[in-house]
Structures are given as structure tokens and as C-alpha cells.
Amino acid sequence: MRQCRQCAAPAAIHMRQHRLAFCAAHFPAWVVKQTSRTIRSHRMFGHSERVLVAVSGGKDSLALWDVLLELGYQADGLYIDLGIDAGDAYSATSRHKAAAFAAARPDTRLIIVDIAACYGETLAEVARRKRDIQRPCAICGLIKRHEMNRVTLEEGYPVLATGHNLDDEAATLLGNVLYWQSGYLRRQWPVLPADETGLARKVKPFHRFYERETAAYALIRGIDYIHAECPHAVGASSIAHKQTLNQMEHAKPGTKMQFYINFLRAKKEGLFVPFEDEQITLNTCAQCGQSTTAEARCTFCRLWEV
Ligand code: AMP
Ligand code: FES
Ligand code: ZN
Ligand code: ZN
């Protein structure tokens, strides 16, 4: 039986990639400390800055919100209700989890954006109307990114934090490498600075944690979260990439971490330097004002054209 590094009690979690084990009493403190280190080493934000946490109702983002509050940050939440309901009331349930988390913490507030109320259609409805969109997931990321950026700027938050963990980032990296998506590879990083084109600063303070670690944190801290995956994500390549990486991790513990963390190191050392000839011209969307590579209106605004 493994023992806690801190107190020698039987371990509740063993992290083979770190050769580290903790009991249920000491694991949350380790997560909080590691997150604090990550925030400082990447200069994500300071204590005087208000942070907006994008919460999906899942374990990662609610655990992140919890950790930031534990660390004394002024962290509020943003939930984007896409109206997803494949007979499972997915959005309603996840919205309820986020709202319950916020209600139990009176010093914070949760901003809810209801896509159907704001734009007239749910994610599934707009995806069905647009013939060139094969499945809702194809535009879900686009809608979430646009709305996260909009609300962060409109509500005056200097930074937006998402709950992406190492499993998410490693799966994204695998997808980007498989298809040699050089643009995405150049941009993949735990901190994206704000820029003059109207992009808010975005950070991923959980990018060094395995998914099982954020799940263990949420469980030990008694955070109630939605366990189900988005019903539209069934069969998504990101899920297949996660499974592949988990098989490799099983065969050789630490593989997932090496793959992603060494990518970050290699980038720091100069891999994927900006391509000199790359000149992306950004325009301002005539409707919403966000930056876009499109000529007049951005892809998000064109979604709602009838
Ligand atoms: P996903 O894209 O579902 O893997 O989620 C990655 C991160 O995006 C989560 O950890 C959240 O921080 C954020 N996120 C996902 N869905 C939502 C949502 N509906 N509303 C707000 N934030 C979200
Ligand atoms: Fe995008 Fe579900 S529709 S993850
Ligand atoms: Zn202990
Ligand atoms: Zn627009």
C-alpha cells in the first residue's frame, strides 16, 4: 500500500508520472500549491486582477474556480448555455451544477449567457439550418470562444481562465501534429496574451494536471459536477486521441506528460518560430467588433444570418 508523501497515511491517489502519492487530506493542498506555481511561472495574472473562469459545469472548470478562490483570487464564473438537449437535458443540468456551485459561494457571481435567448437559436438549431455544418461540435468551439471573449471584455475582466487539463492539451497536440497544423501548433500555449485586435488574455492554469487528478480534487472537495460528456461529442476525434494517449500512458506512465510538457519546452527553445512570410491580415467585424480574418462580418456573426 502506498503512503502519503506528507503524513504516511494510506494514499488516496498515486501519480505515477511524478512518483508521488497523497492521502485525501493532503492531495487538495498539493493541487492548490501546484496551481499557484503554474500561475506565477507563466505570469498568468496577479492578485489585484479579477479573473473570469469559464465554467462548463464539469469537474475541471469547477475545480479550477474552487482552487482560485482557495488561493484568494477574485474569481467569477461564466457559463455559456448552448441549449444542448439530446433527450438528456445536458445544458440544463450543467448550468444547474455551475449555478449551485456559485450559490454556495456568496462572494462570487456567475454570469450566464443563454445563446438561444441572445441570438434566437440553440446550437443544434443553427447547426441544422446551416447545411454546410455537419455536426453541432463544428461550431460549438467557435460560439464559445466568441462569447467568452465578448463577455470578458464587456464586463471588464483582464483575463479569462479555462479548465483545460493536460489530457485536453495533449489530445489537441496529437491532433495538431497528426495533421501538421502549423498555425495551431504555433499558437498552442497555456497563456494567450491580450492583443490590440480585441482578443482578451486567456490562460489555462490546469494545463499540467492529468484529468484523473482534477477529478480526484473535485471528488475530495465535494464539488458536484456533471459527469456526462456532451452528447454531440460522441465519436469526436479528440476523444479517440485521448484514448490513444491513455493506452500509451498505461504502457509507459508519464508518456502523456512528456509529450505535452516537452512540446512546451521545445517551443520555448525555438521550435515553431513565427513563419516570416506569414502575414495574417485581421479585420474588425462590422457587426460585433471582434477581430476576424473575414472581410466584413466574422464567422460567428454570419452564423445567425437567415
Ligand atoms: P471543452 O471545450 O468542453 O473541453 O472545455 C474546455 C474548457 O472550456 C472548460 O474547462 C471550460 O473552462 C470551458 N467551457 C466549456 N464549455 C463551456 C460552457 N458551456 N460555458 C463556459 N465555459 C465552457
Ligand atoms: Fe460541442 Fe458538444 S456540441 S462539445
Ligand atoms: Zn497525508
Ligand atoms: Zn462578428
CB-CB contact of 92 with 150 (8 Å): no
- Which amino acid is located at 260 in the chain? Y
Mapped onto helix, strand or coil, the DSSP state of residue 268 is: helix
In the chain, DSSP finds a helix count (H) and a strand count (E) of 12, 10
**pLDDT tens digit string along 36-91?**
999 999 999 999 999 999 999 999 999 999 999 999 999 999 999 999 999 999 99
- Cell 456526462 found at: 228
Nearest residue (CA) to ligand 2, atom 3: 137
How much distance in Å is there from the Cα of 82 to the middle of ligand 2? 9
Question: Which domains are present in the chain?
Answer: 28-273 (3.40.50.620)
d(CA 17, CA 11): 15
Nearest atom in ligand 2 to the alpha carbon of residue 144 is 1
Phi, psi of 120 (to 5 degrees): 90, -10
pLDDT at 102: 98
| pLDDT band at residue 277 using 50, 70 and 90 as cut-offs | low
CB-CB contact of 202 with 192 (8 Å): yes
How much distance in Å is there from the Cα of 105 to the middle of ligand 2? 28
Nearest residue (CA) to ligand 1, atom 10: 163
How much distance in Å is there from the Cα of 136 to the middle of ligand 2? 6
CB neighbour class for 180 (10 Å; exposed up to 12, middle 13-18, buried from 19)? exposed
With a 6 Å cutoff on the Cβ, whether 136 touches ligand 2 is yes
Kindly list the protein residues whose Cβ atom lies closer than 6 A to any atom of ligand 1: 54-56, 60-61, 78-80, 144, 162-164, 168
**pLDDT tens digit string along 121-155?**
999 999 999 888 888 988 999 999 999 999 999 99
With a 6 Å cutoff on the Cβ, whether 161 touches ligand 2 is no
Average pLDDT over residues 269-278: 75
With a 6 Å cutoff on the Cβ, whether 83 touches ligand 2 is no
Cβ atoms within 10 Å, residue 111 = 17
d(CA 11, CA 14): 7
**pLDDT tens digit string along 185-216?**
999 999 999 988 889 999 999 999 999 999 99
| pLDDT band at residue 278 using 50, 70 and 90 as cut-offs | low
Cβ atoms within 10 Å, residue 140 = 19
How much distance in Å is there from the Cα of 237 to the middle of ligand 1? 17
Taking all residues of the chain, what is their mean pLDDT, rounded to a whole number? 95
pTM: 0.96
How much distance in Å is there from the Cα of 296 to the middle of ligand 1? 28
